[in-house]
A and B are shown apart, each in its own frame.
Chain A
Amino acid sequence: MAKVLYGVASSHVPAIGAAIDNDKTDTPYWRPLFEGYEGARKWIADTEPDVIILAYNDHASAFDLDLIPTFAIGVAEKFPIADEGYGPRNIPEVVGHPDLAWHLAESLILDGFDMTMCNRMPVDHGLTVPLSIMYGKVDKWPAKVIPLAVNVIQYPPPTGKRCHALGQAISRAVQTYSDDEDLRVAVFGTGGMSHQLQGERAGFVNTPFDTSYLDRLTDDVDALTEISHTELLRDAGSEGIELVMWLIMRGALTDPVREVHRHYHVPASNTAAGLIIFEGAYSRALL
């Protein structure tokens, strides 16, 4: 029986990707952030997930205002790197896992989650920056990736409760995937932490809120699923509402989870950057 073993939540700030691409990670500005990623890179090199189901939001790259799917799953063989206006990042294309992706799409829909299936889906910094954070500069991504795009730009995004329930449904669906019973699956939730890019309130950061969010993610996730969108807009900033995607990751993990790595740093450009890694109950059966 395939299992979701691991969960990673990470910010996906474009400037973090640019720092990696341009070899700036050792400058005084970036060094404190990247030092905190070293443990995460060692962890993923040791655990080697085969497939990452990666929840992220598209930022006007694959989707625009003509089509705004709430939950869209990438079912293609490959996903090209999007041109967000700078030209595409010079990183490897993302290789999918269509067999598992279709299994997930079918299972999730029959389980009550009305997914949108996507073949043509260029992926932007929302998906690629977390991969770069975890793997650094590589010629080929070590894991296959199933993109799970979540609308958080057009109000309202799906609720935190719904995102958490989707994660739980992903966990169930992975367990009924019989084509490769030893498949090691990780789920990533990306975006956040507190930040606001827009308006007179640009630059908003709420470290006490973020710290509490990281703490509660381990053992009080139900409280996080109760946070309303307005509370998130107020306490995490207008773009901090991306944090709902972290709950997809958390929902996909079977309790009890073990926190294996955490890093928090302000600033990465306009954002409070957070990273947290969990091993779910099933991962311990491997030990």
Chain B
Amino acid sequence: MGRAHRDYDDIPGTYVFDGEHHRKGYHLNMFCMSLNDPANRDEFRKDEEAYLDQWDLTPEQRAAVLNRDWLEMLRLGGNIYYTFKIAIFDGLSMQAVGGMMSGVSEAEFKQMMIDGGRKPHG
């Protein structure tokens, strides 16, 4: 089933977590959710591949998690509040991940925010 054009589809660099996105990313996001539990964090730390075997991820989603490809996770149905749990696990700040998704270093990203953030136009 295709999905009709949405009037938010043209917003650049933005992955709206609608029903279609949810269906793609359900298992990926639920894996991320499991990292709220310290026992699961320990298991994931011990052996990431073995821990991921317990979750019904597509090969692409699995590779994106192992490679910490934050944008790819979003494209494959991830939601930032869920995928950020992997960043918390890695000890990364939201600014570091923001930089990785927008192609700049954490320091550059922080400076952009101090300078008032990414401007609406330009």
Contact = CB atoms under 8 A, between A and B. Distances in A.
Contact of B101 (A87, A199, A239, A266): A199
B91 to A, nearest CB: 9
A64 B7 CA distance: 27
Given A65-B33, A233-B11, A269-B95, A199 B71 contact: yes
Nearest to B89: A85
Interface string A46-89: 00000000000001110011100000000000000011111100
Contacts of A201: 11-14, 102, 118
Contacts of B12: 200-201
- Residue among B6, B26, B94, B103 having the largest count of chain A Cβ atoms under 10 Å: B94
A87 B119 CA distance: 34
B117 interface: yes
B80 A84 contact: no
Nearest to A57: B81
A47 B15 CA distance: 42
B15 to A, nearest CB: 5
A64 B32 CA distance: 10
Given A65-B29, A234-B8, A200 B35 contact: no
Interface string B18-29: 110110001001
Given A59-B81, A85-B89, A65 B36 contact: no
A156 B6 CA distance: 12
B62 interface: no
Interface in A196-219: 196-207, 209
Given A82-B36, A197-B94, A201-B13, A65 B26 contact: yes
Chain B interface size band reads 35 or more
Nearest to A204: B118
Contacts of A275: none
Contacts of A203: 98, 102, 109, 112-113, 117-118
A272 interface: yes
Tell me what chain A mostly uses at the interface: helix, strand, loop, or mixed. loop
B30 interface: yes
Nearest to A66: B30
A65 B22 contact: yes
B33 A207 contact: no
Interface of A: 14-15, 59-61, 64-66, 82-87, 153-156, 194-207, 209, 229-230, 233-235, 238-239, 266-267, 269-270, 272
Interface of B: 6-8, 11-19, 21-22, 26, 29-30, 32-33, 35-38, 41, 71, 74, 79-82, 84-85, 88-89, 93-95, 97-99, 101-103, 109, 112-114, 116-120
Given A199-B14, A269-B113, 16 more contacts: A60-B29, A64-B29, A65-B30, A82-B36, A84-B85, A85-B35, A86-B88, A153-B17, A155-B16, A198-B101, A201-B14, A202-B13, A202-B99, A205-B118, A209-B120, A266-B116
